[in-house]
Amino acid sequence: MYITTVKTYLPGINVTNEELGDHINLKPKLIEKLFGNYGRHFSTNLKTGKINSKTSDLIEIILKDLFKDNNECSDDIDFIIVSTATPDFLLPTSINEACYGLGLKNIETYQIIGGCSGAVQALNLGKYILTSGLHKKGIVIGVESSNKFLNVFNNSQPLDTKEIVNYTLFGDGIGGCIVSSTSEEHSISVDYIEYNYIGMDEKVGQLVNWKGAREDLDYSPMLQEEYKIIEKRVPEITKSCFDNFKEKTFPDKTNNLWFMPPQLSGKMVNVICENLNIPESKILSRVDEIGNCANAAIFFQLQEFFDIALKGEKGLAISIESSRWLSAMVSVTKG
């Protein structure tokens, strides 16, 4: 499978630690010290509470960008796969709402609900579809829009610490790529994809709930992050993935590798890369400036790889999802 184009988009303006800190009663310097993040984007305007874009709106934006930049039309695309943890509705799916908005018809659409590893699931599904020989070209998208969970406008009730952590770490965004069964000039070859439910005996690290019409049920918590557990486990799992990758290839092939680490926080990126002895000059990461965009994160890293890697250079992206502990890897080569 080949990636011929990568596009990304961030909604709204950059939300600094100063602005965010005013809403969650946390000092900006403390946010940076604890997590190493200093910016993020939200689809909701923090000053007014107005929702500027939904998940389906962001999908429309990235689809138009992919079509426009590559002189593509919907007739050239056989399928579209979207991965997200924040759909607008359970039904209709956000990808189908976006297709309706753009007037697209008679195209295969898939939507995966997942966390950080969802984008790799989507790429893997795209690979299976192309390998089947039934289709030749498709689009894979990862997107997040946290409008329904951005609970910072009701100051009458104090926020739980495990909820506050999410606002400091996460951000909204979208990324997408065109995948093809044939190579084009400067395309990226996807050499290897691995995705696993680890089955680790550990607490749920990230919980995102949804609420139905029944009022007699206890829906809490709606959003919860066990950051201390994540801080301990993610570097361990990442190292295991990296070591497995080295065993399956050759050690010398990892010397000049472009490394795309899990996008959980700026601080955790530093810890992971120091443990793996990755030189700073070979790290592709934007989490410190745009937050953890979950399903969109890997596309920002792949876009950097697409733009700066030389022909023949290799890259490895590792994604760790802490919900029920999933690991994912994508190995690529610049054509």
| Residue 72 CA: distances (Å) to CA of 14, 95, 107, 137, 183 | 31, 18, 14, 11, 16
Mean pLDDT score across all residues of the chain: 89
| Residue 238 CA: distances (Å) to CA of 74, 210, 258, 313 | 38, 29, 15, 22
Instruction: Give the largest Cα separation in the chain, rounded.
Output: 59
End-to-end CA distance of the chain: 12
Beta-carbon count within 10 A of 45 CB = 14
pLDDT of residue 50: 87
Answer whether the bond into residue 92 is a cis peptide, omega within 30°: yes
Q: Is the pLDDT of residue 208 over 90?
A: no
Instruction: Tell me the per-residue pLDDT of 85-115, one tens digit each, with 9 for 90 and over.
Output: 999 999 999 999 999 999 999 999 999 999 9
Instruction: Tell me the per-residue pLDDT of 271-315, one tens digit each, with 9 for 90 and over.
Output: 999 999 999 999 999 999 999 999 999 999 999 999 999 999 999
Q: Is the pLDDT of residue 252 over 60?
A: no
Residues 159-178 have a mean pLDDT of 82
> For the ranges 111-115, 173-177, 219-223, which has the lowest average pLDDT?
219-223
Beta-carbon count within 10 A of 333 CB = 18
> For the ranges 12-26, 113-127, 151-165, 291-305, which has the lowest average pLDDT?
151-165
pLDDT of residue 89: 92
pLDDT of residue 219: 82
Bridge partner list, 177: 6, 140
CB 17 within 8 A of CB 38: yes
| Residue 290 CA: distances (Å) to CA of 45, 49, 111, 228, 293 | 16, 20, 24, 21, 7
- pLDDT-based confidence at 157, cuts 50/70/90? low
pTM of the predicted model as reported, rounded to 2 decimal places: 0.92
| Residue 6 CA: distances (Å) to CA of 116, 137, 300 | 18, 14, 8
Cα–Cα dist 36/268, whole Å? 8
CB 144 within 8 A of CB 116: no
| Amino acid making up residue 4 | T
Tally helices (H) and strands (E) across the chain: 10, 13
Beta-carbon count within 10 A of 309 CB = 19
| Residue 317 CA: distances (Å) to CA of 5, 119, 302, 304 | 17, 11, 8, 12
E strands within the chain?
2-9, 15-16, 39-40, 79-84, 108-113, 137-144, 173-180, 188-197, 206-208, 223-225, 258-260, 314-321, 326-334
Cα–Cα dist 272/269, whole Å? 5
Instruction: Tell me the per-residue pLDDT of 82-91, one tens digit each, with 9 for 90 and over.
Output: 999 999 999 9
CB 295 within 8 A of CB 316: no
Cα–Cα dist 50/278, whole Å? 42
Task: For 3-36, give the DSSP string.
Answer: EEEEEEE--S--EEHHHHHHHHT--HHHHHHHH-
* Contacts for 204 with CB less than 8 Å, ≥ 6 apart: 226, 322, 323, 324
